[in-house]
Structure 1
Amino acid sequence: MDSQSTFRRVLHHPFTRLVLCLVLAVVLSALFHWLGAVLRLDRLPSANLRTGVFALKNAVTVVLALWLVEWGIGRRTLAQLGLGWQGALRDVGWGLLLGLGLMSAVIGVMALAGWYQLVEGPPESFQEEARDALVWAAIFSAAGFFEEVAFRGIAFRLLEEWLGSAAALLVSSAFFGLVHGTNPHATWFATLAIALEAGVLLGAAYMLTRSLWFATGVHIAWNWTQGALFGVAVSGLDVDRLLESRLSGPEAWTGGGFGAEAGGVALLLCTTAGVLLLVYAARQGQWVPFLPRRRARRESAPATAG
């Protein structure tokens, strides 16, 4: 094998592309940060507006990094990377329904147990509440899209291509939990819960459809339903909400200040849903075996004479 072939093989390797995506994302993030400082975006009058701009910047950063690397190396289109427009609205819609249903079930179980109660909040008009709900829908859309492109579109997809579905799910889920472990009110249990329930569920959602839109829909609805609708903290962060609420009872089950997603109720319900989705994806032929590239080379190698 000549040096040119070796270089091409190394360049096309999933690990190389993963590293290049990460490096390019860091460079682009620094560039956008500088541009934001020049435009004084950190001085926008509204905290929600600053949060939204930050989330949008992150989303644009990872999409650009993903596309530039994959198009530059393998001429892969956005559709091949899980971001095609055909069927996008359908996939987002089904994802929104799944996320809404799961988080509503979690809050419903806690309400039946007496751990979730509605309380009196500050007086607001319907227009103010609707505006806040729409603002947070936009913020969660940008943030959810960013995280799905980063964790499923880049990390999971390339790890799966290199190591197979099991390893990709394990590594991407663990990293997803660890990243959320830096949030306010995070505990080791919250980190584990996010890794298991959200990491498995969202990874399985991508595996089943090979569409980032479905996983993004689940992610958006999960956050918005928990925070903006039911008034529970989202990964330790308080948001404007339609319903004022209070969590009481054992934090191991309710999630306490981190939010319902860090409690045992969500861990049991959402992890079960993720495992079921994962099994269904595997039965649909979406499970990639361990070291698929090595297996493909071995199967394509000419048989030796006996």
Structure 2
Amino acid sequence: MLNVKSNLISIERAFDLSALLKTVPSELSSVIFEEFVFRVFIFSSLFYFTRKKAAALVLTALLFSFAHFPDNYLEVLSYFLGGIMYGYAFLKFQTVWVPIAIHFFWNFIQGPVLGFPVSGMEQEGLLKLEIVPDMFFNGGDQGPEGSILGILLRLVIILTIYLIPRVSENHGFLKFKENT
């Protein structure tokens, strides 16, 4: 709302349910692909070689950030925090499905629902926006995830993940067979 009142965003059209529903398969498949690559393959491999969860988390978050081709330090920080957010959820809940859900809803609400770009890619959504680039409020061509507000929201989500209790322990999580 602040973006609209500040004339940084104008809404051209609202509510196109068919556009929203058409995006679900592609949004979900891209998120599943990214999470399996970054959490299951890269994070698990780094952890296997370092045996340090914090190091694997930070390195994976850096790779996640640079894989999104950030244009400035604000975007590097935002995508890095995104990598921390998804990686921490992976560690805390000991499954890839929680970061997949968080990542899907992050992208889906930002793009197909609100009509902002997601990771620099234009989106068709319920709202059709005309965006005046503003790195503080709306992230310009990266969408809200490239803004200060997006960074603050990622920090709130990381804190929320921290505060939610883990339901059960997965004793097989990140356990590797020893080579004999």
TM > 0.5 fold call: yes
Aligned to 1:120: 12
Q: How does 1:1-306 map to 2 (within 5 A)?
A: 110-111=2-3, 114=6, 117-121=9-13, 129-163=16-50, 164-181=52-69, 186-196=71-81, 198-248=82-132, 250-278=134-162
SS of residue paired to 1:216 = helix
CA distance in 1, matches of 2:131, 2:158: 25
Name whichever of 225-234 and 112-121 sits farther off.
112-121
CA distance in 1, matches of 2:7, 2:106: 19
CA shift, 1:213, in A, is 1.1
Deviations 1:148-204 (A, max 9, x none): 00001111123234321110111000000001016xxx33321221112x1111011
Query: Could you tell me whether the CA contact under 8 Å between 1:229 and 1:241 is conserved in 2?
Result: yes
Identity %: 23
Quick one: which amino acid aligns to residue 131 of structure 1?
Answer: S
Structure 2 unaligned segments of length 5 or more: list them. Answer: none
Quick one: which amino acid aligns to residue 119 of structure 1?
Answer: I
SS of residue paired to 2:12 = coil
Kindly report the root-mean-square deviation, in angstroms, between the aligned alpha carbons of the 2 structures.
3.0
Indicate the structure with greater strand content: 2
Structure 1 unaligned segments of length 5 or more: list them. Answer: 1-107, 287-291, 294-306
Matched residues, number: 170
Indicate the structure with greater helix content: 1
SS of residue paired to 1:244 = strand
CA distance in 2, matches of 1:168, 1:281: 22
Quick one: which amino acid aligns to residue 139 of structure 2?
Answer: G
Greater relative contact order (CA < 8 Å, ≥ 6 in sequence): 2
Deviations 1:126-155 (A, max 9, x none): 7xx322212211101000000000001111
CA shift, 1:226, in A, is 0.5
Deviations 1:270-305 (A, max 9, x none): 1232145247679x989xxxxx99xxxxxxxxxxxx
Quick one: which amino acid aligns to residue 110 of structure 2?
Answer: Q
CA distance in 2, matches of 1:115, 1:260: 16
Change (3 A) 1:172 1:275: farther
CA distance in 1, matches of 2:11, 2:60: 38
TM-score using structure 1 length: 0.49
CA distance in 1, matches of 2:140, 2:76: 13
